[in-house]
Structure 1
Amino acid sequence: MAKTAQRTPVPGPAFIRLLARLAESNLSSTGPALSDRLSEWVDWTRAVTLSKALDGRLPPAVEGPDFDADEDAECQRIRAALAATIVQEPEGTRHPRRVVAADGGDAPVEYIVFRERYLTLQRAMLSATSRLRGRLRDMLTRTSPEMARLAEVDALMEQTLSAREYSLLAKVPVLLGVHFERLRETGSDDGWLEAFRRDMQSLLLAELDVRFQPIEGLLAALRTH
């Protein structure tokens, strides 16, 4: 009896594992080290700036509210609201409008409605996390000299990596579209569409986790002071 080919488990965050599964791809567990990857993304001018941030004068504190339990709760509320928006699908994606074909029947459901929703949610996540990240950095500068340096380094890392991050995440809706077409070709009735919705929801929640990782790091630093 022929054995079914099995994919090698993909290491890394849930977001990467989901992307690999949807792309039906095996990712090597022996890829370049993180330091090697960063050297490809950070040019020498940015590297010099980061070095100065680590060794130079501390940035001045910015006036504003100090971090407290209410600020912590607000960050959690915003994350929960984004997750709820992802889970509570609008009518347009729960029951996509079917276009009438030339023969009077229903034309196939198209991916564009899901693509637009994914892009809208990506923009919402980017807007919310960028605003929170900047606010938490301002609070760090008022905590201690060491935390002020951490805030400056985080700001520079965001400036350095944001373009690369935007470029990579912009490819996710494209990959999801390929997955949509594959499921539609191999699925039956509307079962494939429900499977696609689940995959899209899982991918969005995993991307939300990735986008909140820097914020969770800043929150951890603030909670210790």
Structure 2
Amino acid sequence: MLNDTRPRRQYRQVADQIMALVATQALAPGERLPSERDLAELLSVSRPSLREALIALEVEGHVEIRMGSGIYVGTNPAPEGPSIGMDAEGPLEILQARAIIESAIAEEAARHVTHDLIARLDDNLHSMGQALNDRSRMVALDGQFHIAIAAGVGNSVLANFTQQIYEKRLSPFFMQFSTRFEGPRTWRLALSEHGAIRDAIADGDASAAREAMRHHLSESQRRFTESFLVERHQQA
């Protein structure tokens, strides 16, 4: 068996730094940490990596993020170690991988477009338009849209792979992460982007389909990285 020489994921390194800061400053459970902005400057890390680290620690119970208030040392850390795995893929890493892979899949789908595929995408878009305020339903429909495109290529390996990578979105880490930033506004944007993907595939325009998919998943990542966890509520 080959040794895994991959470096420890960035968000996990940042999480370690945060917990080291808690220990160094002897912060007790319930005490407040510096703001997201100040933590990023203090630790010399990017806001996206910090955001992933904080939410990973929140899932594990080491910190508590209170909207409109701040970030606090957790009072109930998971008793049996991390619940998301010591080196689970981060949400932003997953989205980046999807942008690369699913762009190529959308390109192929446009080359193999059928009336059945477009009908399935149209049904999906209609259902999404009716469910913008139902988060769990939107997550399911979002996955069905992407999986339908992969299935439309006619390659079961691609369809299964797309389903498997999408299911990573259902992990406690990713779900907690997305809960912080998703809502009717972001789902409305995603629906519009899905519509552009559908139109490019329906036109048989492989290049446009590839770019529409890349744009959609890159925008999804941007929406996560440019939002605030708590500052905007504190400043309001």
- TM-score over 0.5 for the alignment? no
Q: Which has the higher contact order (CA 8 A, sep 6+)?
A: 1
* Higher gyration radius (CA): 1
Shorter-chain TM-score bucket reads 0.3 to 0.5
User: Normalised by the size of structure 2, how large is the TM-score?
Assistant: 0.34
